[in-house]
Amino acid sequence: MRTLIFRTVAPYLTSLMVLFSVFVLLRGHNEPGGGFIGGLIAASAFAIYGVACGVSPVRRSLYFHPMAISGFGLLVAAISGWLSVVFNVPFMTGLWIKVSVLGVPVDLSTVLFFDIGVYLVVLGSITSVALALEEREHG
């Protein structure tokens, strides 16, 4: 698998796929997409990078351990549910806020953060499995 062409293309392919996964994550609220599928795309991006260049560059580029990323995602998702407690509404209620970033109005919501949490959980756990399998193959 580790041909010159693949190794040259893989980093670009990976970064494109990660970018695309973020796009899929963000459009997921009203259109097809969302955290789960976005996370899968990102995880396959890192898997491709791992197949092409080996596991340790992937681990270096992720910086955090995939399971820690997963844990952080779970924390983000749980907190976005718990935020409702401040507003006297039931658990997991979607709360919205309008902010203006450089004059552009942006709707932020707990739903979005929950989805980001899902994205990170899927990214972390699937990457962790993929890297463990690849490590065994090459080791």
Partner 1 sequence: MAAESIDISNAMVTQPTTLGDWMLVAPVGVPILFGAILLMVRHETRLHASVAIAGLLLTLGANAALLLQVLADGPQVMTMGRWLPPFGISFTADVLGASLSFVAMLVASVCALYAMKDIGTTGRRYGFYPFVMLLMAGVGGSFLTGDIFNLYVWFEVFLISSFGLLILGSTERQLDGATKYAILNLVGTTLFLTATAYLYGTFGTLNMADIARKAEAMRETGPLMTLAVLYLLAFGMKAAAFPVNFWLPASYHTPRIVTAALFGGVLTKVGVYALLRVLVMLFPVERAELSGVIAWVAAGTMVLGIMGAIAQSDIRRVLGFVVISGVGVMLAGLALGTETGLTGTILYAFHSVLAMTALYLLAGVMKGLGGSYSLHELGGLYRSYPAMGAFALVLMLAAAGLPPASGLWPKVLLVRASLEAGWPWLSFAILLTGLLTTIALGRVYILAIWRDRQEVAPAGEAAIGRPGFGYTSLVLLCVPIILLGVYPEPFIRVAAAAAGGLLDSSSYIGAVFPVEAVQ
Single out the residue of 19, 39, 15 nearest to residue 114, CA to CA. 39
Count of residues binding partner 1 (CB under 8 A)? 24
x/- map, 13-42, partner 1, by CB under 8 A:
------------------------------
Which region, judged by CB under 8 A, interacts with partner 1, from 13-21, 35-43, 50-58, 78-86? 78-86
Is 107 among the residues that bind partner 1 (CB under 8 A)?
yes
Strand 104-109 versus strand 96-101 pairing type: antiparallel
Tokens 């983000």 locate to: 76
Which region, judged by CB under 8 A, interacts with partner 1, from 13-21, 25-33, 43-51, 65-73? 65-73
Q: Compute the distance between CA of residue 96 and CA of residue 130 in angstroms, rounded to an integer.
A: 36
Among 9, 16, 19, 67, binds partner 1 (CB under 8 A): 67
Q: Compute the distance between CA of residue 66 and CA of residue 54 in angstroms, rounded to an integer.
A: 16
| CA distance readout (Å), 124 to 12, 26, 74 | 21, 18, 10
Q: Give contact residues for partner 1 (rule: CB under 8 A).
A: 65, 67-68, 70-75, 78-79, 81-82, 84-85, 88-94, 96, 107
